[in-house]
Structure 1
Amino acid sequence: MTDVDLDLAHVRAFVLAAQELHFGRAAESLSISQQGLSKRIARLESQLGTDLFLRSGQGVQLTEAGRRFLGPARQTLAVADQALAAVRGEHRPLRVDVWGHLYAPMRALAQVAARTGELPLELGHGRDLPSVAAALLHGDIDAGFGRVHPPLPPGLTHRLVRLEPVDVILPETHPLASEPALRPEQLRDSVLWTPGSLDRLDFLHRFAEQFAIRHHAEAPNLGLDHFLTGLTADAHRFSLIPSDVPLPQAPGVRSVPLVDPTPLYAWSLLWRTNNGHPLLRELLSTFTTQAGRNRWLEYDPAQDWLPEL
């Protein structure tokens, strides 16, 4: 097998078919016929000496060999695209997706981008960590910015760039709303209000487990204004938000610092390990400088609570 020279057109056909699990849609993406795509994949399978897909009347599925081949195949295409860009002297913008929108990730990213001067960024929005991770592995974006938690798919790496204190937000009618500060344990009998399913919100889920929050209620994530309106609908609800997030002029909502311990929300930059975009190194360097200047990574385990990353 060491003398096999893979045709990148065949590899690209396989990757698209594996993503779609539909030869017709994959062929359309490549602007070729479905028969042409099938031939490319058949030639690739012949070269590799194994089937990559199981074909049936219900569609196609990856074989075990196909699942093993998919990750390296994506990386091969990404490296080939980078080599082509280097030869052409292209300097396309760095594509960065953010997630965790209720916690306003653009605030920190904007501060860093301002320090880079003319660093060209294309900013987008991912639904959550899994969707951003998938976009990175597919080569659709260069980096992600948000809260990272294990497990990460193979081929991705991240760097912690900011730890942000978290406040509790309460309706003004909440029994604890008049307190100047609160300990997390004081919220045990309150209702954690979440923007979506709690089991998909790692930080809030871990907070609830750590501090024995027994009750929660949820609503779709339709933005901060909608979220705060739902918060005030029940005097026993509360939620958590980074202390730096500017709250809109929402009547009936109070923000109170959390102490003993203070929860910290961790922001990370996430990227594919073999991404050689030169602007990625510049963005990482600027984050490091900004974190040192603003003491973004200060952490005292005697006073702060930080979930495992």
Structure 2
Amino acid sequence: MNIGVDAAALGMSNAVTANSNDVNSGYWNPAGLIHLEDNQLSLMHASYFANIAQYDYAAFAMPIDDRSAWGFSLIRFGVDDILDTTQLIDSEGNIDYNRINLFSTADYGATFSYARSLQVPGWQYGVNAKIIRRIIGKFANSWGFGIDVGIQFERNDWKFGLMVRDITTTYNVWNIDEEKFQSIADAIPGENQELPESTEITLPKAQFGISRKFEFNYDYTLLSSLNLNMQFAKTNDIISTDGVSIDPAFGFEFGYTDLVFLRAGVGNFQNIQQIDNSEKVGFQPNIGLGFKYKGIQIDYALTDIGDQSAALYSNVFSVKVDLGIFR
């Protein structure tokens, strides 16, 4: 739920809290759904870790009236066809490859979003209700629930946004197959002796964003945006205190006649400790392209998972469709 969705946003290093205004706002800031003029559908696929992990996303949103809108999205991040070698050795100590099975581990997130504009001009808010499902083969599974809240404000061509994720703290309760656990307990002396914790929590996080779009000669536009991503704990973020840690992100989108888009962004600024105990500042650059024609938008992003290793860059594709074109 923290990776991000939509190749257009990923190409801008996720700095879209203030300006998100389409079906993907259900993820970035549900308040942005209020800008929908018609029903929209969005799909995305990405592969991570040399195609070992698959990341998929689908979303639908539609306006209710001129002051409110709703949406639904589903995310899956999974690793499939993992070798289960826990029964590789039989009761007589022999290796039997026929005892190897395959299993998958996957996380699912289903989000229901609602947005509404306020009586005060320029203000709108949105709320997400999230259901989290996590599955590790037949070994363990969990259910969780959380709530996000977002607001947006527009004035004099400037846009502001605030998104608080997991504002209630998201809880996942695990159900572990104790029989399967006991079959591997202490197989290696000192390992797997006690059942893991059955409760997992996700603490609140916040993103504050500012953006503005500039127009040149009617055909050219430049959207610039800034995000301040905040965690309420001390981390390796470039700005870090005991109370809050802040990781800034900058994004840019150059557009031509609302048809072709070139995007770039930089974020994930981290203090990285070297082997010699010295520190350096690491960051994550992203780039992207987009094409829009008659209500169909196709986007591409080249994005790193965070450690600036060229081998770990991922190609992300997404498509967004205004369903009104089929009427």
Fold equivalence (TM over 0.5)? no
Larger radius of gyration: 1
TM-score (norm 1): 0.21
Higher-strand-fraction structure? 2
TM-score (norm 2): 0.20
Higher-helix-fraction structure? 1
Higher relative CO (CA 8 A, sep ≥ 6), structure 1 or 2? 1
